[in-house]
A = this chain, B = another copy of it.
Amino acid sequence: MDTKTLCLAVLSRGPASGYEIKKTLEQPPYCLFQDTGFGSIYPALQRLNEDGAVATTDCTPTRRPAKRIHALTDEGRSRLLEALSQAPSPDRLRSDFLFTLLHGDLLPPDLVLEMIDARIAELEAKLSQVEACEPRADSPCAVFLHGLGRTHYGGCLDYLRRNRSKLARDLNAASAPSSKRAAE
């Protein structure tokens, strides 16, 4: 999904400014599977306006960078529908954490364990963030997605918590086969 479609999707919930779109995208559920900066949003909104997909009106002309509210047009709505109807392109995950973990054998055991602890803390934060934003009950899809998010984060968290100590043992056994110093 390109930034234009992203903007259209957010605008389908109601008119908004570029700044507000960015804020919406920063919060769950969007922040869980998308990320975009101002540098992508503003140009996208301009092109969308040129193409007639959104109607832009200056809301606060007195203010210097006037707040520009963008509203979906019929053209924009049908474009969004079309984009959404396409077969979704495969997920793209870039995870430095997972990548590092895969090569954890090259690193000092303590460092690996620290990274896992940090990840556990992050997942806890994300999970409570997800749980905090209750989906609207009138949207079956939002409810479904909410549950999926909870399952995903909860499952990973659970795994990390339950297998951390085993990894710690195995790692220390591998790094000290004979008998180095035991504790630090």
Interface residues of A (CB under 8 A from B): 1, 6, 9, 12, 29-30, 32-35, 80-81, 84-85, 87-107, 111-112, 115, 118, 122, 138-145, 147-148, 151-152, 155-156, 158-160, 163, 166-167, 170-171, 174
How many copies of this chain does one complex carry?
2
Bound-state CA distance A87–B97 (Å) is: 8
**Is A88 a contact partner of B100 (Cβ separation < 8 A)?**
yes
The residue that A147 contacts in the complex, of B12, B100, B159, with Cβ under 8 A, is: B159
Task: Name the prevailing secondary structure of the A interface residues.
Answer: helix
**Is A106 a contact partner of B84 (Cβ separation < 8 A)?**
yes
In angstroms, how far is the closest chain B Cβ from the Cβ of A155?
A: 4
**Is B94 a contact partner of A91 (Cβ separation < 8 A)?**
yes
**Is B167 a contact partner of A95 (Cβ separation < 8 A)?**
no
